[in-house]
Amino acid sequence: KTKKLPYITAKIAVSKNNLIYSKGSKKITNKSSDKITHYLRYKNDSIMISSKTLNIDNPKLNCRLKGLRKFSPRRVILDNELKTKINSYIVKTADINNTIIFYNKANKSKITTFKKTKIKLIKSKINNHGKFDFITILKKLYNYDCRNLLIEGGDFLTNHLLKKKIFNKFYLYKS
């Protein structure tokens, strides 16, 4: 709180051979771990994924626990080049208060298309390695009243943030 950054919890699921995704694979988690995930979504006011995860999984990123659905978190997407699929569930269910996309560059027609969807677009700088300045993004999220952020990133995002020691709490589901 003193640094004006959200409290960050991360969650990732891996198979017994340490894969988070493979084509045609069975689901890694079970009903019990799914309930924990939905509880985490309820407890956090925002949830973050990358556009790669969004485009592969087409997730809902909501809380599906009975009686708690209205407490689903705000969805935050990291999308450097605005490659989020326009027909994804997140885009179709977006409103100005529940979805933010951080991007760096995109053509004007793509930006215009996304502005019609009621998604909040925030242009953000990237570093020499093509990555967002994550602390700047966290500060911007804090300014949008994000106090508790759940990151359900894929392998790339999770590994990058682990190396940066960004997480306050980490959940690892392993089959």
Among 25-29, 78-82, 119-123, 169-173, which stretch is predicted with the lowest mean pLDDT?
Answer: 25-29
pLDDT at residue 14 in the model: 83
| pLDDT recorded at residue 27 | 72
Residue 25 has pLDDT above 70, yes or no: no
Query: Residue 72 in contact with residue 63, Cβ under 8 Å?
Result: yes
Separation CA 85–CA 17 (nearest Å): 30
Distance, CA of 86 to CA of 92 (rounded, Å): 8
- How many secondary structure helices (H) and strands (E) does the chain include? 6, 7
DSSP state of 22: -
pTM: 0.92
Statement: residue 122 has pLDDT above 60: yes
Residue 72 banded pLDDT, cuts 50, 70, 90: very high
* Mean pLDDT value across residues 55-65: 94
Q: Looking at residue 47, what is its pLDDT?
A: 98
